Amino acid sequence: MQKPRLLIPAMTVPNGTLVHPAYFLLVGIPGLGPNTHFWLAFPLCCMYALATLGNLAVVLIIRVERHLHEPMYLFLAMLSTTDLVLSSVTMPRMVSLFLTGVQEIEFNACLAQMFLIHALSAMESAVLLAMAFDRFVAICHPLRHASVLTGPTVAKIGLAALTRGFVLFLPLPFILKRLSYCRKHTVTHSFCLHQDIMKLSCTDTTVNVVYGLFIILSVMGVDSLFIGFSYILILRAVLELSSQGAALKAFNTCISHLCAVLVFYVPLIGLSVVHRLSGPTSLLHVIMANIYLLLPPVVNPIVYGAKTKEIRSRVFHIFSQKGS
The residue extents of the domains of the chain are 23-310
Q: Predicted confidence band at 121 (pLDDT cuts at 50, 70, 90)?
A: very high
pLDDT of residue 218: 92
309-323 and 34-64 helices cross at what angle (nearest 10)? 100
Q: Predicted confidence band at 164 (pLDDT cuts at 50, 70, 90)?
A: very high
Q: In the CATH hierarchy, which fold is given to the domain comprising 23-310? A: Rhopdopsin 7-helix transmembrane proteins (1.20.1070)
Position 274 pLDDT exceeds 90: no
Helix (H, G, I), strand (E, B), or coil: what is residue 113? helix
Residue 245 CB coordination number (10 Å): 8
Q: Predicted confidence band at 12 (pLDDT cuts at 50, 70, 90)?
A: very low
Q: Predicted confidence band at 174 (pLDDT cuts at 50, 70, 90)?
A: very high
pLDDT of residue 250: 77
Are residues 257 and 159 in contact, defined by beta-carbon separation less than 8 angstroms?
no
Are residues 221 and 209 in contact, defined by beta-carbon separation less than 8 angstroms?
no
DSSP 242: S
Question: How many Cα atoms sit within 13 Å of 265 on the Cβ side?
Answer: 22
Q: Span 96-115, mean pLDDT?
A: 91
